[in-house]
Structure 1
Amino acid sequence: MWAALEQMAPDDPRRGVLRDELITMHLPLVHHLARRYRDRGEDMDDLVQVGTVGLIKAIDGFDPSRGLELSTYATPTILGEIKRHFRDRTWALHVPRRLQVLQAQVTECSDRLTLELHRAPTVRELAAALEVSEADILDALDARTAYAADSLHGTPDDDSIPSALSTLGSMDEGFESIDDRETLRPLIEALPDRERAILQMRFFQGMSQSQIAEALGISQMHVSRLLARTLASLRDGMAQG
């Protein structure tokens, strides 16, 4: 079926039919993965709906030339959508409404300014566009960072999803074998606002050092030094803990 889909022209009306068939064929996988989360207080139908979004994303982004089965490729994407659903719900419950609204505005404004400026906007530019203080912008970023610290470690069900901590470990050897992950959370929360923001942008948003530099209005070299100092501080804290 996938071979037939690849041979069709992008505007071939049969593509939509085959795509729908692929989605239907793999819905049992969504149900199977959603059942892992059935004891967390969410309606099973809602979890299946969220997981189906992940399935559709996986089908649309699947490249058979990589040698993977579609089910293998789709599994982490489906789990990722379900996990994000729980993270977003936790965010809504534990972060003040004012910061939730501001964080959403910052995200939308950042996307818009990036298109207009052809680069990531600075904190000052975001503050001017939203008519708030730079401190408010940093508070919004900080709220998401503090929440993201709760997501440093996955549940046993999420082994197929790379955690932010595993990403951090792949970029810094000092974090490759952390056993007590709870120790890292208060260390991150104790960092100064700017260092927490840099850590969040680098490891949770996947931004490059140059993008971070543009966002904060500082040089890339300064970002590199701050990041190195922050990671060293976390390593020392882990060693002492």
Structure 2
Amino acid sequence: MPTIDQDSATNATAQALRLARRQRQELRRQLPASIGRRNATVLEHLGLAHHASAHQWRRGGGERDELLQEATLGLIAAVDGFDSSRGLKISSYAMSRAHGQVLHFRRDRQATLRIPWRLRDLHAKGQRIQENSLNTNGCLLDDQTLARRLNVTPDRWRQAVEAAWQQPVLSLDGPAQNCDPDEAERVSRLDRLAAIELEQPDPALDWLGEALMTIPPVQRRWLLAYYLEGRPLRTLAASEGVHPSMLSRVLKKTLAQLKTMAQGTSDSMEAAPIANKAATAV
């Protein structure tokens, strides 16, 4: 039975053979000498691009081929701009350029809807302030206070929120994310919209709609996205620029607030069942 050392040696030999084959292919190309030397250096350090793309894929997902392509472009730029007179290794410089190329790709070209970077940065700063406020004071700031903290107008902050909220693209023909995975037939979002239009008025939903209006807009938006739209916690946290643990705490606190409001209607024998049903249905 082969040992771990033997497997590592076999993999290293296979990589060396692949590198030698690609180097021979480059030598057969009719290229200027400077380009040939650059390509040979790129091939020699191509493992750095694979390492950078794999690391970025674990951090944020995406198509691995696209990330590898961008990391390779960063490696080529690093080889072109490397200055050996500074006494540094090319691997240190190349890794930073490969990571930077992937990050620029994610910022500018990966998303289907391109959001201006100033709005994305503004939204990220606002979410950091909200997270600090939640950790320090146990509550989130309203839009007016947050806009003052960011030194922008409330309209500008609302634009940043809307841009971050609308960036994820969902297929209307795809299955709804909050369906039971054991269902034999997946219900599309279009089917669910049609079903909602045919439903009869529900007093519980009427109460829930009024109760939700008393919740701060940020918490209400997160609550509806997670419980009603069925967006995964990590996906929602990434689109809002907050940590998943913070988002989870806010959702639990908001849901507890709704349940408390539902219990407060128990003075009426008819209102209590409606309120509790609506709060537990979120």
Fold-level match, TM-score > 0.5? no
Larger radius of gyration: 2
How does the TM-score come out when normalised to structure 1?
0.38
How does the TM-score come out when normalised to structure 2?
0.33
Relative contact order: is structure 1 or structure 2 higher (C-alpha 8 Å, sep ≥ 6)? 1
